[in-house]
Structure formats: C-alpha cells, structure tokens
Structure 1
Amino acid sequence: MAYATYDFYQESFGGNAISQADFDRFAKRASEYLDLVTHGRAAFYWDDEDLVKKACCAVAEAIKINEEGGGVVAESVGKITRNYAAGITNTPNEEERLSIAVCRYLLPTGLLYLGV
C-alpha cells in the first residue's frame, strides 16, 4: 500500500518530477522505506498536514533520482544532454538523499524516535 496517490502528489505536494505511469512503483517503494525507518508506525499516524503522505512523495522523488544515478548537474535542451552527479563529495549519496527527504516531513512527528 502506498501512502500517497498521484493526485495528492500533483495537487497537494506540488510534484511534477514523476510521471503518472511511474508514480505507483516509486510510491510503493517510498512507503516501504517509511515503514522501515518508522518501524511500521507511519501506517497508524494521522495528522491534518498529511506529513506521512508528503514524506512518501519526497522519498519517491529521491528514489527516482537515485535510480537515475544521482542529481543532474548539467542539462541541455537542444539534442538533450544530461550529466549526473556521481561520486562528487558535496552532493548527498543515495542514503543521505532518502534520509533528508524523510526528515524534512517526519522529524517533528516523533515517528523517527527509536527510544522507549
């Protein structure tokens, strides 16, 4: 089960980096990651700001970037050229990118707390 739908991604989150055809795959993987880092508590968390849904969207975009090999550092429109940041030390690695996406939305919720 994915925590966010494509409609939420476009309308509430304001996302446009993932196509509708690919969104379900990325959202499911993002939801699995959220379950991992929250120890399953994300499924039971509800709030007025939809922070779990937003975190799902942010992680889905991060997973997409990771699959593409890193962030785009250069892009041309004519004859389409892209260069990805791979191995550059000032860009986040794959795990850091996912962690940043999760923390942006879930840090204030207590879902990431591992204590007793």
Structure 2
Amino acid sequence: MSYVTDDYYKNTFHGEPVDDADFPSLSERASEIVEEMTMYRVTSVTILAMPEEVQERVKKAVCAQIEYLNANGGSDMDNGNDLQSASLGKFNYTKASGTSESTQQSMYAPRAMRLLAPTGFLYRGGGCY
C-alpha cells in the first residue's frame, strides 16, 4: 500500500520531479522500505490509529524515500548486482571488486530517517536508532 499520492508528492511535499510512469512503482517501493525501516510499526492498519502529526511524518518520509530511489536508480536499486560501473541519467553506480558489504549504499534515505526519528519508530534498543 502506498501512503502518498502523486498529488501529495508534487503539491504538498514539493519533491523532485519523477516521471509519471515511474511514480506508482517508486511510491509502492518507498512505502515498503519505510515499513521495513520502522520494523513494521507502520502498516496500512496501524497508521490509521496514529496522531495526524505522525501520519504526516510517515508521508514525508515516504516522499523522501521516493526522491532517494529516483535519484539512485529507481525502484530496483536493491537488486544487488555487482557492477563495476554504470551510468544512466541521474543514476551512477560503481562497485569495485572485493568491496565489502559494509561500504554499500544504504537503501534508506537519510532524510526519511531524520523525519522518522522523533516518532520513536526507528528505535531498536541499546540507545541508538
């Protein structure tokens, strides 16, 4: 389930332009990633019981994730291919052979993480998020 519409993304969030044909898949993927990021504390059911301010933060986090995915190769960003170098439009990816997994680019948009931080949904225990 996508948490945002194209209209919300364009007119409320004022996100970077996304092709109309790409928006549905990016929105769906971004919503899935935000659910994963919050350890499934945010779902299509739980969001309805959340305060409006929290719902707005979730929507903005999904929009930030859409921007991030669009700027970094689209909804298939996490396929895990070990490319040496690739470039197409906004997307640019290089991975040297022998590079460890810890240096790979995160699937989570830094801005989405910052938007969700005050909600407590990112808390995994141990004093960090």
TM-score scaled by length of structure 1: 0.70
Identity %: 33
Cα deviation 1:47-83 (Å, max 9, x = unaligned) = 3361111110110111112216xxxxxxxxxxxxx68
Q: Which residue of 1 aligns with 2:30?
A: 30
In the TM superposition, 1:1-116 aligns within 5 A as 1-43=1-43, 44-45=46-47, 46=50, 47-48=52-53, 50-67=56-73, 86-87=93-94, 94-95=105-106, 98-115=108-125
**Contact 1:55 1:101 (C-alpha < 8 Å) held by counterparts:** yes
Where structure 1 has 5 or more consecutive residues not aligned to the other structure, the ranges are 69-81, 88-92
Distance across 1 between alignment mates of 2:91 and 2:62: 23
**Contact 2:71 2:90 (C-alpha < 8 Å) held by counterparts:** no
Q: Which residue of 2 aligns with 1:77?
A: none
Distance across 2 between alignment mates of 1:86 and 1:27: 22
Cα deviation 1:30-59 (Å, max 9, x = unaligned) = 011111111111222433361111110110
Distance across 2 between alignment mates of 1:62 and 1:83: 11
Q: How large is the RMSD of aligned CA atoms in angstroms?
A: 2.9
| Count of residue pairs brought into register by the alignment | 101
Paired letter, 2:122: L
**Contact 2:73 2:90 (C-alpha < 8 Å) held by counterparts:** no
Distance change in 2, residues 1:51/1:83 (3 Å): closer
**Which is worse superposed, 35-44 or 55-64?**
35-44
In terms of fraction of residues, the more helix-rich structure is: 1
Cα deviation 1:71-109 (Å, max 9, x = unaligned) = xxxxxxxxxxx686545xxxxx6316x240321210111
Q: What is the Cα deviation at residue 22 of structure 1? A: 1.3
Distance across 1 between alignment mates of 2:106 and 2:68: 9
